């Protein structure tokens, strides 16, 4: 069923193949373990086709043949945003059919994702790839002037269809080989104008939160130690002095009670954000989340909406013990009525936070304890990402690797090795855990025909299990090999460091799995 749906949409798209895309400069980005990450993740392709039909250009502006868009990058972004809104109707017609949930926000998010892709296109030095919990001293990313003209966009809206654009293929091929040998080019860095600002992931969350609180006086934060203490992970630092004790509310230790409280407040018009100090503690709030958060909009006949955001750090950390290393996405995924998203970079953390706050549905935002100190350069301007979209981290040809949250970085590390061995993995950060972005995933599977899911969830009943089922159901015809899923074992997370490491999927396992699948 989905297949027919997609096929129709793809033919529509192929008719619009004369799309012209802008070049955007690659900005610096410091990302954990994106060492040797192939540039080309979410960057733009410049097509040589001259599109005369300006209506169909989504991201077009007048000056498409500029090679030095250093200075006008900022202007262009602004222009694009204006043009976006002006072309909203048209673009909605273009994309609306494709993705029912598209809106201007979506389009802006695509722009934003492109920016982010540029940002995420990092460079490569030979820094080590091991995580260091003490300090994420990430290699600084250098600027590649030559990358400007040679980047590839693979968008979840499917604007580039494999086979429909030979240029893209060639470009892509070029990129792969370049990536391996790529080195930093420091000289050009200083001259380039850097847009955006650098910050850590928890700061990005805070920025998103603060912007939303400024924008809408109904937004409030509820949780333990979120007030003057600033939150255990400092996500709400300095918000209490700014907005007051009531808007950034410190609560007693009763997760079910303050989640219930947030639900009640949401039904009366506030937009609360519930912070669980650790996702595992939200198990106590499961009753409220399942019975009321997910249900009340439905059972009240649509009379009451519950625009609540529930967020908190989860996942396996560094020797935090079994109770503090839980992955709740698998438990929550069945609850009807809620949406789940997982952030993995400062860029998408801020975007998803804002989107979640603005959404009318209850959203659970999964953060990861070990990712809070990731540093990245994010745009200065406001952007909101789509809650139902997946993110193309690295386009490729041989195999689709689906992942989310921290495992993204393990996958990218493995990708490094894989590229050296001659494989070309396509890495997608699924981001939206409920509902799955089967559109992006489907397109990818149709291209590569092999799927590997890498997740941190437990084997039984995890996100990977659901995703495997969904893929098998919808894309069975396109698979050349069975879907493989790498996940944590069904054991409580042990405390001992070495044991803990073995419960989490490591890059070596990913490489082995890819080699196995691609035989």
Query: Do 87 and 50 touch, CB atoms closer than 8 A?
Result: no
Between 151 and 292, name the residue whose CB sits nearer to other proteins: 292
Q: Which of 337, 417, 459, 509 binds other proteins (CB under 8 A)?
A: 337
Which member of 36, 339, 468, 493 binds other proteins (CB under 8 A)?
339
Piece of 76-84, 261-269, 447-455, 482-490 that binds other proteins (CB under 8 A): 261-269
- Candidates 39, 139, 260, 425: give the one binding other proteins (CB under 8 A): 260
Q: Is 254 in the site for other proteins (CB under 8 A)?
A: yes
Residue 398 annotated in active site: no
The reply to whether 4 sits near other proteins by the rule CB under 8 A is no
Lookup: tokens for 336: 């009807």
How many chain residues bind other proteins (CB under 8 A)? Answer: 60
Q: Which of 51, 178, 287, 417 binds other proteins (CB under 8 A)?
A: 287
Nearer to other proteins, 43 or 330 (CB): 330
Cα-atom radius of gyration of the chain, to the nearest Å? 22
Helices (H) and strands (E) in the chain, counts: 18, 14
Q: Exactly one of 176, 201, 279, 296 binds other proteins (CB under 8 A); which one?
A: 296
Residue 471 in contact with other proteins, rule: CB under 8 A: no
β-strand pairing of 309-314 with 363-368? parallel
Q: At what angle do helices 507-517 and 407-421 cross, to 10 degrees?
A: 50
> What number of other Cβ atoms are within 10 A of residue 238's Cβ?
13
**Residues 302, 483: contact at Cβ < 8 Å?**
no
User: Is 252 an interacting residue with respect to other proteins (CB under 8 A)?
Assistant: yes
244 binds other proteins (CB under 8 A): yes
Q: Are the C-beta atoms of 263 and 308 separated by less than 8 Å?
A: yes
Site string for other proteins, 181-220 (x = CB under 8 A): ------------------------------------x--x
Q: Tell which positions 431-460 bind other proteins, by CB under 8 A.
A: 435-436, 438-439
Separation between Cα atoms, residue 319 and residue 338, nearest integer Å: 31
3-state DSSP of 108-136: HHHHHHHHHHHHHCCCCCCCCCCCCCCCC
Toward other proteins, which CB reaches closer, 116 or 330? 330
The single residue of 99, 297, 324, 398 carrying the catalytic annotation is 324
- 3-state secondary structure (DSSP) of residue 457: strand
**Closest separation in Å from C-beta 8 to other proteins:** 14
Q: Determine the Cα–Cα distance for residues 508 and 505; give it in Å rounded to an integer.
A: 8
Member of 361, 417, 506, 509 binding other proteins (CB under 8 A): 361
- Would you say how long the chain is, in residues? 519
CB-side exposure of 303: number of CA atoms within 13 Å?
3
Q: Which of residues 373-392 bind other proteins (CB under 8 A)?
A: 388
Closest to 79 (Cα-Cα) out of 97, 57, 95: 57
Q: Which two tokens stand for residue 55?
A: 């209506």
259 belongs to the binding site for other proteins (CB under 8 A): yes
Residue appearing with tokens 């109770």: 323
- Mark whether 197 is an active-site residue: no
- Pick the binder of other proteins from 87, 247, 324, 394 (CB under 8 A): 247
- The interface region with other proteins, picked from 181-189, 253-261, 323-331, 416-424 by CB under 8 A, is 253-261
**Using the rule CB under 8 A, is 469 a contact of other proteins?**
no
Q: Maximum Cα–Cα distance for the chain, whole Å?
A: 63
Q: 310 to 329, contacts with other proteins by CB under 8 A? A: none
Gap between the Cα atoms of 254 and 261, Å rounded: 10
Which positions touch other proteins (CB under 8 A)?
A: 1-2, 100-101, 217, 220, 240-247, 249, 251-252, 254, 256-270, 272, 287-288, 291-292, 295-305, 336-337, 339, 359-361, 388, 435-436, 438-439
Give the catalytic positions in this structure: 255, 324
């Amino acid at each position: 069923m989905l297949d027919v749906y997609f096929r129709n949409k793809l033919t529509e798209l192929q008719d619009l193949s004369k799309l012209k895309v802008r070049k955007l400069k690659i900005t610096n980005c410091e990302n954990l373990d994106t060492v040797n990450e192939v540039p080309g993740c979410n960057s733009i392709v410049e097509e040589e086709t001259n599109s005369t039909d300006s209506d169909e250009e989504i991201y077009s502006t007048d000056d498409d043949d500029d090679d030095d868009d250093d200075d006008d990058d900022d202007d262009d972004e602004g222009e694009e945003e204006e043009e976006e809104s002006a072309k909203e109707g048209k673009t909605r017609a273009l994309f609306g059919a494709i993705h029912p949930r598209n809106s201007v926000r979506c389009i802006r998010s695509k722009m934003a994702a492109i920016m982010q892709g540029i940002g995420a296109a990092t460079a490569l030095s030979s820094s080590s790839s091991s995580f260091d919990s003490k300090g994420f001293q990430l290699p600084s990313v250098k600027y590649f002037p030559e990358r400007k003209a040679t980047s590839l966009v693979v968008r979840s809206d499917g604007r580039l269809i494999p086979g429909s654009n030979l240029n893209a293929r060639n470009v892509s091929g070029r990129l792969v080989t370049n990536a391996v040998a790529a080195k930093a080019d420091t000289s050009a860095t200083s001259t380039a104008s850097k847009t955006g600002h650098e910050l850590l992931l928890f700061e990005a969350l805070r920025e998103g939160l603060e912007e939303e609180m400024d924008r809408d006086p109904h937004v409030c934060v509820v949780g333990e130690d979120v007030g003057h203490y600033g939150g255990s992970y400092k996500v709400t630092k300095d918000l209490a002095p700014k907005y007051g004790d009531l808007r950034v509310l410190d609560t007693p230790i009763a997760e079910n009670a303050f989640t219930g409280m947030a639900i009640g407040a949401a039904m009366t018009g506030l937009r609360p954000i519930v912070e669980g100090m650790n996702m595992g503690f939200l198990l106590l709030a499961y009753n409220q989340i399942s019975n009321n958060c997910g249900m009340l909009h439905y059972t009240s006949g649509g009379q009451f909406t519950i625009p609540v955001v529930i967020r908190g750090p989860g996942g396996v950390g560094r020797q935090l013990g079994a109770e503090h290393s839980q992955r709740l996405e698998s438990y929550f995924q069945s609850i009807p009525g809620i949406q789940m998203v997982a952030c993995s970079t400062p860029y998408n953390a801020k975007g998803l936070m804002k989107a979640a706050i603005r959404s009318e549905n209850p959203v659970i935002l999964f953060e990861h304890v070990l990712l809070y100190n990731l540093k990245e350069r994010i745009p200065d301007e406001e952007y909101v990402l789509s809650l139902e979209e997946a993110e193309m981290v690295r386009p490729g040809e041989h195999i689709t690797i689906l992942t989310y949250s921290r495992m993204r970085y393990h996958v990218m590390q493995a990708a490094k090795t894989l590229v050296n061995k001659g494989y070309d993995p396509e890495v997608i950060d699924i981001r939206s855990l409920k509902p799955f972005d089967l559109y992006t995933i489907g397109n990818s599977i149709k291209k590569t025909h092999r799927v590997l899911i890498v997740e941190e969830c437990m084997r039984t009943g995890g996100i990977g299990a659901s995703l495997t089922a969904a893929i098998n159901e919808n894309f069975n015809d396109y698979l050349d090999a069975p879907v493989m899923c790498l996940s944590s074992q069904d054991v409580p997370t042990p405390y001992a460091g070495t044991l803990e490491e073995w419960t989490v999927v490591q890059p070596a396992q990913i490489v082995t799995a890819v080699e196995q699948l691609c035989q």
